[in-house]
Amino acid sequence: MKFTKWQGCGNDFVLIDCRESEPADYAKLAIKVCDRHYGVGADGILVVLPSALPDADFRMRIFNTDGSEAEMCGNGIRCFARYLYDEGITKKTEFGVETGAGVLVPRIILEDGKVTGVRVDMGEPILEGDKIPVTGYGMNRVINEPITVQGKEYHMTCVSMGNPHCVVFVEDAENFPIYEVGTHFEHHEAFPRKTNTEFVEVKDRSHVRMRVWERGAAVTLACGTGSCATAVAGVLNDKTDRKVEVELDGGKLLVEWTPNNHVFMTGPAELVFTGELAD
């Protein structure tokens, strides 16, 4: 089985084209392939599939290092889109991709005929508690609400970008004990489907520093949907403008929450290497 390895701001993926044949067990494959000692090593696998939807050209599935399936991945969809374009599978620079979060539309950014990045319409943020989901809030928004984790009170703003996010603003993102508390946020009883958690330091109204604990993958160098959730949370808490640069462990993303309520994310997608998986 041939594969390509991609990264977007250090968030890395093994991409497998399964349009003609699929493995028997995606979860088992993801656990094996993502292992950084005995496998290829990645934060997850991206699967290329055909889509039967009229407004989608392709379907993307994402599996985490623990074998669980994610609804969406912002860095992943940029890598997915560039793979399709670079390999000549599509000649379109803008196309629909079916995901677990609905049909999203990436656009290949070209300068002098060369790909310099990918901009994705990530759709509209979901802000109602029951829809994210977060227990105890019904259809109300969850903005700057208290949550107790390991005996300490934090304040969370919750957003779904097709997958659940808990954004916590902190004074010092670099030195925040993310490895110690991240898993306790992910598995907190407030989140029936678990959650991704972003720990965010506001530098100024157009620049934030974000670190992330991803559901099913632990600490990663970047999270695209998390960056989008962070931008939305910044606006909801009047901490940032609607267009913000998100500085991650692995690079930077530009996120804009536009007046039509759609969130747009722009960033890199780079091929690392190609290979073939042994049986």
> Tens digit of pLDDT for each residue in 82-126?
999 999 999 999 999 999 999 999 999 999 999 999 999 999 999
Q: In sequence order, which residues have a C-beta less than 8 Å from that of residue 226 and are 6 or more positions away?
A: 74, 165, 196, 198, 210, 212, 214
Provide the token pair at 179: 């490895």
Per-residue pLDDT reduced to its tens digit, 198-252: 999 999 999 999 999 999 999 999 999 999 999 999 999 999 999 999 999 999 9
Average of per-residue pLDDT across 258-262: 97
In this prediction, residue 249 carries a pLDDT of 96
pLDDT band, very low/low/confident/very high, at 265 (cuts 50, 70, 90):
very high
Per-residue pLDDT reduced to its tens digit, 215-228: 999 999 999 999 99
Question: What is the number of other CB atoms lying within 10 angstroms of the CB of residue 20?
Answer: 6
This prediction has a pTM of 0.92
Distance CA 174, CA 186 (A): 20
**79 is an active site residue:** no
Catalytic residue (one of 73, 79, 166, 228): 73
Per-residue pLDDT reduced to its tens digit, 133-187: 999 999 999 999 999 999 999 999 999 999 999 999 999 999 999 999 999 999 9
Residue 27 has pLDDT above 80, yes or no: yes
Q: Which of 137, 152, 53 shows the shortest CA–CA distance to 96?
A: 53
Whether omega before 133 lies within 30 degrees of 0, making that bond cis, reads: yes
**223 is an active site residue:** yes
Average of per-residue pLDDT across 252-279: 96
In this prediction, residue 279 carries a pLDDT of 72
In this prediction, residue 146 carries a pLDDT of 98
